[in-house]
Chain A
Amino acid sequence: MKTSTFPTIPRRLLLTLPAVLFLLAFFILPLVDNGLRSIVQADGNGITFARYVQLLTDQFYLTSIAQTIALSAAVTVICVLIGYPVAYYLVRHAGRWSGLIIFLLIAPLLTSIIMRTYGWQVLFARRGFINTLLVQDLGLLDTPLRVLDTPGLVVAAFVHVLVPFMVLSIAAVLQGIDRRLEESAQLLGAGRLRTFFEVTLPLSIDGIGTGSILVFMVANGSFVTLVLLGGGLKTLPLLIFQQFNTTRDFGMASTMSTVLLVVALVCLFLQLRLVRRGGEA
């Protein structure tokens, strides 16, 4: 019988070739190109690390990096706090309504992020729905609340966009937890709260981890919400957008995006360690 001239492993590897080529062409090569741009001098002659030095020593840019991390972290924590109870209800109590709840969770994702962000403007503008209600209709306030252009609203808008990712990640893991483990804990005398904190929560930590990574990474790279809602925050993605759109300083934009990538990878590493430790506990 004639045997294949291809050994087994190379043939398997062959199947991964399209994905590898795709990643190489659209991820690795652009990343290398980006890295090179960040160290090539503006006149194209020679190498410089001045942009990195500026970015990592100038107080303004350091504050920007800190704001980027703080914003993403705040959004992630709030998404966990809101998303977990929703996911828990969805898996344990929604019953036949679970389909409807999932639809309601996903439906906003079908709307453009710009439209959803404009929605906040309509609600909280000086003569928007909320202020009209509080000042004119109910007479509870003398002057309208200034909500737009504040960091709080930016966080709320991010949470609005990203919380479905958290809910779905946690729900998927909660669904897979063996209920008999919780029942055993309760049979052994643990109350409902203790069962939750010592059995359910540790077992669902992978869902929280997945959701947190998703939410953190998306928030870490977003700028549209900040452009539209302001809030006085100067995050790195916003500064990168400025370098392309306003100053056309592509070298600095590349430096910023490389730093942002490193920040994201460090945060990803820390989150994974945290999740692993939580899972082991």
Chain B
Amino acid sequence: MTDFTRRGLLQTGGLLGAAAFANLPLTAAAQAGEITVTALGGIWEEAVKKAFVEPFERKTGAKANVLLGSPPQWLSQVEANPKNPPIDVIIVTPDLAINAAKMDLVDTFTVEKVPNLADIPAEFTNALSGKGTVFDYGVAGITYNKKTVKDPPKSFKDFVDRTAAGEWTASLPGISYAVTPIMLMWAMARALGGSVDNIDPFFDAMKKMRKNVIFWGGPNDFFNHLSSGEADIGIYFDGRTWAHVDAGADWIDFINPSEGGSINALAVQKPKNAKDLAWEYINVMLSPESQLKFAEMLSYPVTNKKVQYPPHLAKRFTPWQEAHFPPYEEIAKVRAQWVDRWNREVGG
């Protein structure tokens, strides 16, 4: 006969209770799920948490862990372990997104999986072969010092002619900056009658402008050029211009050239074999409410058609139809040639 003592019962009950208590949160977390999502650092991280992570967690009861870093790093992590990717949602530049799609590392987006995809212009998904979509963008155009440039150029052509004439010193992105082949070389060549296959108009323009041009190595560098008076005008991003304005530099302004600047976008992708819960997170990312919150925090426009910007943002944002989505795949094929030609002909 089994001998039940009071102490034995208490010990057994205590152990069972402790086990149950310890197991409770694990069970709850396991039921709701947990995913790893990505964000760039600084205000970006804050915006991702407020605009995407918080509503996702409220809606699903699941947890989204935010991993900081950069798109090439996240893509490398997925590439290193495609069967069990350590990240469930990645944020990438379109050229990397196209690479990821080519390498078959990411899943195809459909309205069934992501209902809010229906409100994203198809161009932004088609550009990535359906393997992801663009969720926010900026435009590279003309940023200038209002105090020294009273009559700013309205087009790339005007910008080139007046820079060549020595009306001002212009600060352009240097060739060591990763986006230069797109935001400057392709955009300017296109505006001046060239294309990916004919970059000559850009180099002809540079030849004319060279003596009145300096180069910036990184985005902060451009602002230093303007604030120190080394340059009066240049090619820069709208969102960064507005961020400087909001920080007190109300003497600068931005113009989208009449030929249209280049769109510099960020896309979202779901790695193959990532958790299905990632679709829910992406759906939240693309919802009008989250997109508006994100746009308000970062001063960059978003892609959901239903988003209604407040007047101060609507005035700033360039509609994507008035800019051009770069042909990343074609540019990637000639990028090394362009850089080599720049090194030999432009210097700087």
Contact = CB atoms under 8 A, between A and B. Distances in A.
A binds B: yes
Interface of A: 60, 118, 121-122, 125-128, 148-149, 227-228, 230, 232, 234, 238-239, 241-242, 245-249
B217 A228 contact: yes
A234 B230 CA distance: 22
Nearest to A233: B347
B174 A126 contact: no
A121 B230 contact: yes
Contact of B335 (A125, A127, A247): A247
Contacts of B218: 227
Contacts of A227: 174, 176, 217-218
Nearest to B180: A246
Interface of B: 169, 174-178, 180-181, 214-215, 217-218, 221, 224-225, 228-231, 335-336, 339, 343-344, 347-348
Nearest to B211: A146
16 contacts: A60-B344, A125-B228, A126-B228, A126-B231, A128-B228, A128-B230, A149-B214, A149-B215, A230-B174, A239-B343, A241-B176, A242-B176, A245-B177, A245-B178, A246-B335, A248-B335
Contacts of B228: 121-122, 125-128
Contacts of B224: 118, 121
A246 B229 contact: no
Contacts of B177: 245-246
A126 B229 contact: yes
Contacts of A242: 175-176, 339, 343
Nearest to A149: B214
A127 B251 CA distance: 16
Given A122-B228, A241-B176, 7 more contacts: A121-B230, A127-B229, A148-B214, A230-B214, A242-B339, A245-B178, A246-B178
Of A127, A239, A247, most B-chain CB atoms within 10 Å: A247
Contacts of A232: 347-348
A149 B172 CA distance: 13
Contacts of B229: 125-128
Contact of A249 (B181, B225, B336): B336
Given A227-B176, A238-B176, A247-B335, A125 B230 contact: yes
Contacts of B336: 247, 249
Given A125-B229, A246-B339, A249-B336, A234 B178 contact: no
A246 B230 contact: no
Nearest to B99: A248
A40 B228 CA distance: 46
Nearest to A227: B217
Interface centre among B180, B230, B339, B344 (most CB of A within 10 A): B230
B140 to A, nearest CB: 16
Contacts of A238: 176
A51 to B, nearest CB: 12
B113 to A, nearest CB: 31
Contacts of A239: 343
Contacts of A122: 228
Contacts of A149: 214-215, 348
Contact of B343 (A60, A125, A126): A60
Nearest to A64: B343
Nearest to B179: A246
Contacts of A228: 217, 221
Nearest to A234: B343
A149 B336 CA distance: 24
A245 B180 CA distance: 10
Contacts of B230: 121, 125-128, 148
B222 to A, nearest CB: 12
Contacts of A246: 175-178, 180-181, 335, 339
- 9 closest A-B pairs by CB: A127-B229, A125-B228, A227-B217, A125-B230, A247-B336, A232-B347, A245-B178, A126-B229, A247-B339
B333 to A, nearest CB: 11
B9 to A, nearest CB: 55
Contact of A230 (B335, B344, B348): B348
A223 B225 CA distance: 19
A248 B218 CA distance: 18
A121 B221 CA distance: 10
A274 to B, nearest CB: 32
A77 to B, nearest CB: 25
A50 to B, nearest CB: 14
Nearest to A231: B348
Contacts of A245: 176-178
A228 B171 CA distance: 12
A245 B335 CA distance: 12
A138 B217 CA distance: 33
A149 B344 CA distance: 17
Nearest to B181: A246
Contacts of B221: 228
Nearest to B337: A247
Contacts of B178: 245-246
A149 B217 CA distance: 12
Name, among B228, B229, B336, the residue most crowded by chain A CB atoms within 10 Å (CB to CB): B228
Nearest to B95: A248
B25 to A, nearest CB: 39
B74 to A, nearest CB: 16
B215 A230 contact: yes
A121 to B, nearest CB: 6
Contacts of A234: 343, 347
A247 B344 CA distance: 15
